[in-house]
Amino acid sequence: MPQFDDSALTTAVVNSFEESNDLRLKFLMEELVTALHGFVRRTNLSSEEWGAAIDFLTRTGQKCGPGRQEFILLSDVLGVSMLVDALNHKDRGEATQTTLLGPFYVGEHRPLPHGADISEKVEGDPMFVQCRVTDLRGKPLAGVTVDVWHADDEGFYDSQKPSYASDGPSLRARFTTDADGRLYFRTILPRNYLIPIDGPVGELILATRRYPMRPAHVHFLLNAKGFEPLVTDIFIEGDSYLDSDVVFGVKEDLISSIELRAEPTMPDGLPADGPWHLMTYDFRLKPGRGVAPKPMAPVSVDA
Ligand code: BEZ
Ligand code: FE
């Protein structure tokens, strides 16, 4: 009868993966078990604390549904999403920096023509967004699909609202760059917002006295043949939460100054209905391949 010896336990569990044919899985499991056992030992974890952790993870899973991914939110607030993103996008050189996709991407957006107003009936301060997409040498890239989405004036995405099913999308669309690599559209100025805090991740954020805010931003997902898909956010200069993004997604190169303009026409020559804001950002794509991230299904408020 073997004697139980907790000092030999980690090695025993690590050795239990010895027969695995999948060497990467074997390596990942060995490292995970070693890190997890190290955590339990270093913290002298009590049975109650481990029970609470199991309960937390159980409730995190129960909060997930077709429109809600609480585990991704957990990964985001623990900085794991940004760490994985950083490790997978090293050596960007001149290419535009990447950041989080977030849970409010709902998939291939409706294609709209340049200049379209994506705000539908949503109230807010008008904003004109103009972008150019090039390769690393500055050559314009035509035919690049660009999905854009952002929160409204009150900090909510369309997919968080009960009216989403009946009213359809707003503040999200797909544009395709023209021969000169350009795209432009009308929208409203997005606001900074609270991440969803009505679940276990929110409990954790509040229990640790963290602030659950993201600075105002517009999401972009660019896809071009022969180039790595680019997932990024463009943040609005001056936002109070740029230094304290709850999901650690801000990078300096992704902060854009938004100009307040008073000209009677917008850059496409069409009339403006009062003062408006201008966001200008140029994207540089890195040659390569890759699969664009999969979207979340539409979110309902209490999903
Ligand atoms: C977002 O930017 O949409 C987002 C990212 C991570 C967590 C919550 C929201
Ligand atoms: Fe967002």
Query: Which residue's CA is minimally distant from atom 3 of ligand 1?
Result: 102
Given this model, what pLDDT does residue 299 score?
44
- Give the SS3 label for residue 160: helix
Residue 73 Rama label (left phi>0; alpha psi -120 to 50; beta): alpha
pLDDT confidence of residue 134: 98
Tokens of 74: 């957990």
pLDDT score for 303: 36
Pairing of strands 213-214, 193-194: antiparallel
What local confidence, expressed as pLDDT, does residue 300 receive? 44
Residue 25, helix vs strand vs coil: helix
73, 157, 158, 195, best to mutate for ligand 1 pocket (most atoms within 8 Å of CB): 195
Q: Does residue 108 surpass a pLDDT of 80?
A: no
Can you list the domains of the chain with their CATH numbers?
8-60 (no CATH), 68-284 (2.60.130.10)
pLDDT at 160: 84
Which residue did the predictor score with more confidence, 295 or 72? 72
- Ligand 1 centroid–CA 103 distance in Å is 6
Decide: 285 in ligand 1 pocket, CB within 6 A. Answer: no
Asked whether the predicted pLDDT for residue 66 surpasses 80, the reply is no
With a pLDDT cut of 70, the percent of the chain lying above it is 96
- Between 187 and 65, the more confident residue is 187
* Confidence at residue 168, expressed as pLDDT on a 0 to 100 scale: 81
Query: Please, which pLDDT band fits residue 289 given cuts at 50, 70 and 90?
Result: confident
Is the torsion defined by CA of 251, 256, 257, 258 positive or negative?
Answer: negative
User: Per-residue pLDDT tens for 140-181?
Assistant: 999 999 999 999 999 999 888 877 877 788 899 999 999 999
More confident site: 121 or 10: 10
CB 215 less than 6 A from any atom of ligand 1 = no
At 232-257, the pLDDT tens digits run: 999 999 999 999 999 999 999 999 99
Separation of CA 221 and ligand 1 centre (Å):
14
Q: Is the shortest distance between the CB of 73 and ligand 1 below 6 Å?
A: yes
> Are residues 298 and 172 in contact, defined by beta-carbon separation less than 8 angstroms?
no
pLDDT in tens, 170-205: 899 999 999 999 999 999 999 999 999 999 999 999
